[in-house]
Chain A
């Protein structure tokens, strides 16, 4: 494990640099599009600024009946250039960001999969999705946003310069009008955020009420109260509507002010230009040009908006970069000799969240035997299961399978040799058959059905509209059914070691009994590690390892350990040991443990 804490501060600066470097790489994957984008943006901006002056000259040449052909051709050329730049620029921006975004996403997916569960623990599932979907898209836009943001100042500055060149007092008139505009733009943000927040909250209440009602739809149907509940969900609507009208009122003020400020600025500049025209300082055409430059120069919203987008693009880059710099597990190159599946834990130490979970743990699981792992919650049973199949590396020590340390094995060897079933299996695949055959190369239908049968999953799968071909998304699964699919997946995976991490906790007692008989019958040649909460599960294992505060408190058959009341307390927390209560209470206690 890399020591994260010191790395954090020391590399903060280089992280930002690394993130920006990532944006650069993404831009490079836009290839020719990024180049085209930059060229068209520069040429387009130049054309935009040149056009009013050119129009002015053309008007003058017409007014004074000079030969105007040159100027007309000039206008046509600049307009064509402008249109071309807009068109190609739009295309290049779209194509380039699509390519850059895709590259970022592919890179991130590869690393996410290399990180495995570590990624979910470090970032959470929703966060990962948002980094892959939104952050990568924002970062992928970086090239276009950088170009646009850099150039967005140019029209305003260019216009100001042009006004100055035409007649300096025009620029003065323009500049005095500026502050008012800036103040106005600021009052916009202040006015509406609170209102919009309240509006969104009200909206959220309706969505939540709808969610609640949808969750309780069976109750609603049974009670025939659909109409009433529709009304209840919509109870908030008048308040929402009132807030909605409020947002319009706020917008009214802003828009009315906005409708005043730019035209008044134009009138002011035109007045100055008119006097200059009278006095012979400027021509007709220059007056027109001045008017255009005011319009062109008042696009101040642009740089502000683009700078915000630039910040978002960099933020997106940083969020993708954070995932990419998380260190992934390294695999070795060794392969596994044929062997019966003896698993040995050698001097395992592990610290999680500054707490010593294991401290020099040694344990041998004989080949083909079953080992139950028992202990109160929080003693590291699942961590031991994760270490056993190298889903997690210990800080110190090695897990050795048939004489080979797992850390030296190549990825395929480990995963082929060791199968897992979890308490809450994440089901991956299009159809239920895909779910069961995860990680197998073209598994036969026979193998899938056999595994399902062994996991007692065949009955409910066959009752689904399309059986094994039912799409996972269309199959409403209970916790117990998901667990059985997870078990079927582990059974289909024909390795020498099978690790069950509390994988039968949601099953009813009859089903669990049937699974246990499969584990002790059909699958008895595999080495099995079973994290167990129920006494019945531990009872069927060859050997029980009793974990207590990171140490092995005892190893032995369940029957022997059962004499110890402290051991029994692992199974029925808070309920008196068997024999004291009525049968009903005892059944209840067992079923909740």
Chain B
């Protein structure tokens, strides 16, 4: 399920967008960076003066005065540094906020659109780590690029002040070094990405192997497992070696852009001195190159090679996985009807659905009516398509062929919010969020009164759970609830909701049989229709009608009727008798 359109937003565009509308902050950042760069600009000049007009001409106090001035510029520069950080924060923190918002919205919307069947949730949640990597890399990038521009700018200005001929010696190699680096940066990025992918494939393979050791040994598949995982190890090592090779380009760029100017100045020194430069000028130039230009270039190239590539890879990862969806997708595609459904009866006509063109359909040509106030149980072996049917009736998935009506209106023509008011689906995996008990209970009807909540708690026998949780105002930590408790809360939500059509899709599978019976009883007494995807056959015995799915056919009827007509139903129900009461033989 790879996205057809790759991450088209480049890191550069992303960065530019994040800076849009921040002109004020950027101007301030620039001004304070100028202040910060003051020592870089004046350092060489002041030392030159201290020597030429002080220490070297036997006026040490004058020399000291110049150095004192240097000390003062250092303080001014530190003040600049202090003021630079809050401005960086004002750019970087909103950038992170935006990314995180995009990741959360994108991940949820993408998951809700249901197109990414196999995505595992933890992988998506790891995206928040990618956001953090992006934040740090972005901050690093801003600092490095800004530092380079102002430090090198200051140093070049200082050299211009000393002797304009110096720039002829320094600028060309610097420019060539930078161009050289940018020629390789794309390839470095590719190699870095290869390494990250190889690391991930290795971790994935290691996890599979480590989780399957018992089974690998039991089936004597050690050799093949070692080969498969060993291949990933070798691929990772190769990617690491290739990155190391391309990484040498960085050192070459520093050599061209930073060390060559130094050698040029030294080699050209006699010529400079003949053209009116003082020894102090040569000294100053060497200082500018070794103390400012060279370290700034090294930092830039390390930084771009590190932060820049990390940022670009992280952003690509984020864009690939969170995609462009950010808003609520309609449940089903197509134009919406203005008609309101009349009641909550459901009609399915000749429904066919499968998970892919080549797959055997899960449901084929199904006709079903669920009149108002029905109590229907759907039974069948696991994996036969019961949940699929629940999804179809709820309007979460669209049939390949056939039509579904809710209250006399085509389901796909109804606005999802409108559908949500009429029917409630409680799936097997209950959704509990961190929030108060009250918020969780009122999820489907936030305006419900305390008395109504109390009635639901009473009907479902939730008093012990409420007590354990600490009352309505207590905070719920989802991870501290058992699967059964989560289901109880989800059921209470459905019970409390205003919807008249309730679909329980194995919503009680983690509860004990007594709690399950109580819950189904409570729903049976609630006005409206109840559809139960049965986890236990006992659910079927409580229903008015039972739909038996067996893959190719569906049979509808009462318990006694089906015992006669459906061999599968007999198996599902009757098998218990063989084991427990009637002895074999």
Contact = CB atoms under 8 A, between A and B. Distances in A.
27 contacts: A72-B267, A79-B259, A87-B251, A102-B237, A113-B226, A115-B213, A116-B217, A132-B206, A203-B128, A210-B107, A215-B121, A217-B108, A217-B112, A218-B429, A224-B417, A241-B97, A252-B85, A259-B81, A284-B51, A287-B55, A295-B291, A420-B215, A426-B212, A428-B221, A460-B384, A463-B362, A464-B355
Interface stretch (A89-97, A159-167, A338-346): A89-97
Contacts of B47: 270, 291
Interface in B549-568: 551, 568
Contact of B60 (A110, A274, A466): A274
B346 interface: no
B252 interface: yes
A227 B327 contact: yes
A433 to B, nearest CB: 14
A465 B579 contact: no
A95 B286 CA distance: 35
Contacts of A237: 97, 100-101
A420 B542 contact: no
A75 B243 CA distance: 31
Given A102-B233, A415-B220, A588-B513, A465 B213 contact: no
Interface string B212-235: 111111111110111001100110
A25 to B, nearest CB: 16
A306 interface: no
Contacts, number: 505
Contacts of B220: 411-412, 414-416, 439
Given A214-B107, A476-B118, A223 B206 contact: no
A551 interface: no
B490 to A, nearest CB: 7
Contacts of A579: 581
Given A97-B240, A120-B213, A456-B381, 6 more contacts: A59-B279, A75-B263, A222-B424, A255-B85, A425-B215, A590-B580
B315 to A, nearest CB: 18
Nearest to A222: B425
Contact of A284 (B70, B86, B279, B394): B279
Contacts of B354: 463
Contacts of A113: 209, 213, 216-217, 222, 225-226
A229 interface: yes
Contacts of A102: 233-234, 236-237
A559 B584 contact: yes
A259 B234 contact: no
Contacts of B571: 509-510, 513
Contacts of B252: 83, 87
Contact of A508 (B215, B382, B385, B423): B382
Contact of B579 (A86, A120, A493, A535): A535
B585 interface: yes
Interface stretch (B20-28, B71-79, B463-471): B71-79
A90 B240 contact: no
A549 interface: no
B225 to A, nearest CB: 6
B1 interface: yes
Contact of A210 (B81, B124, B416, B537): B124
A303 to B, nearest CB: 19
A365 interface: no
A210 to B, nearest CB: 5
Interface in B425-445: 425-427, 429-435, 443-444
B88 interface: yes
Nearest to B550: A510
A578 B580 contact: yes
B215 A245 contact: no
B412 to A, nearest CB: 14
Interface string A383-397: 000000101000000
A445 to B, nearest CB: 15
Contacts of B59: 278
Interface residues of B, number: 174
Contacts of A59: 279, 282-283, 286
Nearest to A102: B237
A489 B214 contact: no
B165 interface: no
Interface in A53-109: 55, 58-59, 62-63, 65, 68, 72, 75-76, 79, 82-83, 86-88, 90-91, 93-95, 97-99, 101-102, 105-106, 109
A115 B226 CA distance: 13
A493 B101 CA distance: 50
Contacts of B4: none
Max count, chain B CB within 10 A of own CB: residue among A214, A241, A248, A425: A214
Given A428-B225, A536-B579, A473 B97 contact: no
A221 B433 contact: no
A288 interface: yes
A249 B266 CA distance: 43
A586 B108 contact: no
Which 3 A-B pairs have CB atoms at the shortest separation, nearest pair first?
Answer: A216-B431, A94-B244, A415-B220
B573 interface: yes
A271 B444 CA distance: 75
A267 B74 contact: yes
B548 to A, nearest CB: 10
A244 interface: yes
A455 to B, nearest CB: 12
Contacts of A63: 279, 282
A214 B114 CA distance: 11
A583 B43 CA distance: 94
Interface string A493-536: 10000000000001111111100000000000000000000111
B478 interface: yes
Contacts of B432: 212, 216
B526 interface: no
A12 interface: no
A319 interface: no
B64 A274 contact: yes
A292 interface: yes
B451 interface: no
A364 interface: no
A101 B291 CA distance: 37
A480 B383 contact: yes
A591 B58 contact: no
A41 B401 CA distance: 71
A267 B42 CA distance: 13
B246 to A, nearest CB: 10
Contacts of A259: 36, 74, 77-78, 81
B290 interface: yes
A58 B117 CA distance: 70
Contacts of A201: none
A270 B50 contact: yes
Contact of B118 (A210, A223, A473): A473
Contact of A426 (B211, B269, B328): B211
A464 B356 contact: yes
Contacts of A420: 215, 218-219
B381 A210 contact: no
A95 B55 contact: no
B350 interface: no
B210 interface: yes
Contacts of B92: 244, 248
A108 to B, nearest CB: 9
A206 B270 CA distance: 65
Interface in A275-310: 275, 277-278, 284, 287-288, 291-292, 295
B339 interface: no
A260 interface: yes
A464 B385 CA distance: 12
Interface in B116-140: 117-118, 121-122, 124-125, 128-129, 132, 135
Contacts of A426: 211-216
Interface in B126-163: 128-129, 132, 135
